[in-house]
Amino acid sequence: MTIFDDTLTEAVGLTDTIEGLNWTQWLAENELFTVVRYYLTLTGDAESSPVADLTLPMSSFTLRTNKDTDNDSVFKSLIAYVPSIQYAAQIAARPNGDLILTMTYEIDGVIEQTVELVRVDFDSVSSFSGPSSKSTSLSGSRTTTASVQEAVLVNTTFSSTVAGVVRYRFALPDFFMRSGDLVTVDGGSSFTVGEVVYTVSVVAQTMEIVEGERTPTVEERDLTEAIDLTDGIIVEMIVEKTLTEAIDLTDAVAVEAIFVKAITEAVVLGDSNAADHLVVSLAEAVALNDSNATDHLVTVLTEAVVLNDTVVAKNQDRKLIEAVVLDDSNVADHLVGALTEAIVLTDVVTEDHLVGALTEGIDVDDTIAGELTVTFVTAKSVIFDIAGSYNGPSSGTFVGIRQIDFYLGISKESLPGTGYTAYSTSIVNGDFVPANVFNTSLDKTSEATSNSWASANDPNDEDQRVIIVFDSPTEIDGIRINNYHHFGGFISRGAKGVEIWYSTDEITSTVYQEAISNSTRIFNNDFGQHAAADGEDEENLVLTLGGV
């Protein structure tokens, strides 16, 4: 997943001078060259026996701030998702830690600016497992105080005004916005921000701000009996924290009206036009029978769920414990995280089905299906078959590669010479062994000797195979390469015409194009030629993890 490697192309706001640095000016000067990365850290220094801080990969996070109506305190909460469960022991060893979300601005592989976005108390952890998808969620919160800033925001993607309360949504987050700040949006009137919600995921990122000290205007913290909301027009007005019996929401027109935290019995959402239903936890049956719904986001359902929408843009289901039926006539996206029983997807037109983990039968009976996406692979071996170099076939010179890095989310696999074994068809001499290519501690600049792999040059550089065998199966979703160079020279000897395969077996045969057991080809293209300059020239390969 590369959602945390997004190139920053446009600033949402950032009009203030923060901590002595004028971010607006800096971003304006560097935005075309800047890569934004996010890092999640769980600290360990607060334990009775202190341990090192733990940096975790992320697939998504949600950051929310709310300003208290009675004082200057601001409540912050963070939920981050890790696309693996392999860190369970390390997380358990840090129960008293802080969760820190950090953002960096990187230019040409060098971190130029680092910003701590939020630091909260680590509250809880949950894990989810399936045969090909595993994830862990970490949550934390903290109440702080913050000084008021003034900012101008532009480029809204959505806005509404209901009962005098203003809400705006932006495609690009401004992480320096806080509840309590005074903002002006798109040249309009100014107001004080009551709530800010940042959401960054694999496929999207948004920021939403709401006017006032606390919104929506109707908040029900604890309802112990039935609720009947039958208003003619209700827009973004209902927040339900805990409901213990039946709820009937039958609004004629509702846009983003319903945010339900926990419901322990039946819920019926029967709106004729609803833009967004966000349901976090339902303990019994749920029926969503909307005629036009843009988004149903369901996190945990423990019994049957039926989504029978006529037109649905997105149904995103994180975890369903029993049967799910999605019987939509037009569905743009079904994102399913973990399903433990049968699923039937019978859409007429479907652009994308992203299925993380299914343990029983699936029937995907779409008339038009654009994509079935695999989000990561688990490899014992990764094999690189190299046809030649940029010198061309039978050139009588060697072919080489400077470095190959493996990623899972935003985290690079740390392979400093141990934890794997490397093989190659040939080497030019003992200073250019294949293990150099995968050693993340070696230099990517200046001297190539002992920092890269190079084949023999007699008789020519064709038909080479390079292999890495991990000590234990390793989850990867990205590969980044630096092609061969020596002080910025000899770049024509970089690898060209490369096929990449991963296998669940230990593969050691270095015969070019020999059949590979239990393997899938995920890349078949050229490695880009290194720039004629002594520096890192990294290329993120476009992989097809489902096979090509």
Boundaries of every domain in the chain: 3-211, 221-369, 377-540
CA distances from 204 to 2, 59, 62, 417, 539 (A): 11, 11, 12, 36, 23
pLDDT in tens, 314-351: 333 333 333 334 443 333 333 333 333 333 433 333 33
**284-293, 377-386, 470-479, range with the lowest pLDDT:** 284-293
State the average pLDDT for the chain.
Answer: 70
Phi, psi of 4 (to 5 degrees): -100, 20
Tell me the CB-side half-sphere exposure of residue 394, using CA atoms within 13 A: 0
pLDDT at 448: 92
pLDDT of residue 293 exceeding 50: no
pLDDT of residue 469 exceeding 90: yes
**161-170, 261-270, 421-430, range with the lowest pLDDT:** 261-270
Residue 82 CA to residue 56 CA, distance in Å, equals 7
pLDDT at 192: 86
pLDDT band, very low/low/confident/very high, at 545 (cuts 50, 70, 90)? confident
Residue 77 CA to residue 32 CA, distance in Å, equals 32
pLDDT at 162: 75
pLDDT band, very low/low/confident/very high, at 12 (cuts 50, 70, 90)? very low
pLDDT of residue 173 exceeding 50: yes
Residue 442 CA to residue 417 CA, distance in Å, equals 9
pLDDT band, very low/low/confident/very high, at 24 (cuts 50, 70, 90)? low
pLDDT at 410: 64
Direct distance between the N- and C-terminal alpha carbons of the chain, in angstroms, rounded to an integer: 18
pLDDT of residue 5 exceeding 60: no
pLDDT > 90 in the chain, percent: 31
pLDDT of residue 271 exceeding 60: no
Given a contact cutoff of 8 angstroms between Cβ atoms, the answer to whether 260 and 279 are in contact is yes
Residue 365 CA to residue 360 CA, distance in Å, equals 16
pLDDT in tens, 110-157: 888 888 999 999 999 998 877 667 889 999 999 988 778 888 888 888
From the CB of residue 319, how many other CB atoms can be counted at a distance below 10 Å?
A: 20
* Average pLDDT of span 166-175: 85
SS3 92: helix
SS3 514: coil
Tokens of 96: 């008293």
Residue 512 CA to residue 42 CA, distance in Å, equals 44
Tell me which residue of 168, 192, 183, 185 sits closest to 72, measured CA to CA: 192
Tell me the CB-side half-sphere exposure of residue 126, using CA atoms within 13 A: 11
pLDDT of residue 174 exceeding 80: yes
Tokens of 205: 């990122």
Chain position carrying tokens 């476009």: 542
pLDDT band, very low/low/confident/very high, at 396 (cuts 50, 70, 90)? low
pLDDT band, very low/low/confident/very high, at 414 (cuts 50, 70, 90)? low
Q: Is the dihedral of CA 375, 545, 539, 452 positive or negative?
A: positive
Tokens of 422: 């490397």
Residue 149 CA to residue 463 CA, distance in Å, equals 61
pLDDT at 26: 72
CA distances from 475 to 274, 323, 409, 470 (A): 39, 29, 10, 10
From the CB of residue 25, how many other CB atoms can be counted at a distance below 10 Å?
A: 11
pLDDT at 53: 95
User: How is the chain split among helix, strand and coil, in percent rounded to 5?
Assistant: 5, 50, 45
pLDDT of residue 470 exceeding 90: yes
pLDDT > 70 in the chain, percent: 61
Domain covering 3-211: architecture: Roll (2.30)
pLDDT at 62: 92
Task: Tell me which range, 19-28, 213-222, 274-283, is most confidently predicted by mean pLDDT.
Answer: 19-28
pLDDT band, very low/low/confident/very high, at 21 (cuts 50, 70, 90)? low
pLDDT band, very low/low/confident/very high, at 394 (cuts 50, 70, 90)? low
pLDDT band, very low/low/confident/very high, at 522 (cuts 50, 70, 90)? very high
**pTM summary value:** 0.40
pLDDT at 437: 94
pLDDT at 432: 92
Distance, C-alpha 302 to centroid of its chain: 26
pLDDT band, very low/low/confident/very high, at 83 (cuts 50, 70, 90)? confident
SS3 392: coil
DSSP 529: P
